[in-house]
Structure 1
Amino acid sequence: MTTDTTLELRATRVLPATPEQVFDAYTDAEKQKIWFSILDEEPGVVEIEVDLRVGGQQTAVWGPDRDTLFRETQTFLVIDRPHRLVTESSGSSPDGMTMTTQVEVTFEAHGDGTLMSVVQTGFPSVEMRDFFAEHAWVGAFDRIAAYLSQA
């Protein structure tokens, strides 16, 4: 069986912290609650719970208000702090659309910072993959970088 690589996303960003600091910012519920909304002009809803163990789950609910919420549940498949994290991600948007993908994130020392690399597979459409490549991951990287710059 072959994988359709057109529905694979690859994204990277060098972040201003050690691999341990970036891994922890990405996986710690209290840190996530800060960076999820760090660039928002108006506070919205951010609720996050994390059970960081293989088989455990992270559930995040966020949005501008209670009537417009996104939900994502990630099940941890591989945890190798601070090098690698693999999850199965199931998400839903306010319009009721759902999607399940697999996400592999690696954290590699790079000069004074960390190269964070993401490979996400299983998108239902090229348009959805492109949205995540051009908006979702860019926004996440921007928010994590802003958080780490202040930490």
Structure 2
Amino acid sequence: MTLEMRTARRLPATPEEVFDAYTDAEKQKIWFSILDETPGIVEIEVDLRVGGVQTAVWGPSPDVLFRETQTFLEIDRPHRLVTESVGVSPDGQTMTTRIEVSFEAADGGTLMTVVQSGFPAPEVRDFFAAEVWAGALARIEAFLSRRAAADV
């Protein structure tokens, strides 16, 4: 049995804007640290095409860095994105999962739904649901809200 988690959040932008915030390296560099009190390290490169790779390296210092490499398996802008993700923690542990993200127009914004599967244990899955994705979606929401406020 494959362990999977599902989470969703309504974001204040069109599906195109949310898709771009999620996949554009320059936008990611902003939202990755938008809620941090002290800046850390964020390096992101994206080759957004089927078979292309996104590499993200981040952390509070050069001694404590996380690395994630995602290979794009499906791209249907602005509706759906599927990747295989290989994550490496600062202590060298690795984990490979599948991430499916959908972007659906809803209530004047976009419902972004994430399904991630392949977790090695329920506690890892639960950590990703409660911390990793909750934090990422909060950061994307803050990025989109600040951008919308600046456009007014």
Tell whether 2:16 aligns with 1:20. yes
1:2-151 equivalent positions in 2, closer than 5 A = 4-5=1-2, 7-151=3-147
Dislocated runs of 4+, deviation >4 Å: none
Unaligned runs of 5+ in 2: 148-152
Give SS of 1:96's match: coil
Structure 2 Cα separation of the partners of residues 84 and 100 of structure 1: 20
Equivalent residue letter for 2:133 = W
Equivalent residue letter for 2:18 = V
Unaligned runs of 5+ in 1: none
What is the identity percentage for the equivalent residue pairs of Structure 1 and Structure 2? Answer: 75
Structure 1 Cα separation of the partners of residues 115 and 14 of structure 2: 20
Structure 1 residues 69-103: Cα deviation after superposition (integer angstroms, max 9, x where no partner): 00000000000000000000000101111100000
Structure 1 Cα separation of the partners of residues 142 and 69 of structure 2: 24
Give SS of 2:119's match: coil
RMSD: 0.6
Equivalent residue letter for 1:32 = Q
Give SS of 2:36's match: coil
The TM-score, its normalising length taken from structure 1, stands at 0.96
Structure 1 Cα separation of the partners of residues 53 and 64 of structure 2: 23
The TM-score, its normalising length taken from structure 2, stands at 0.96
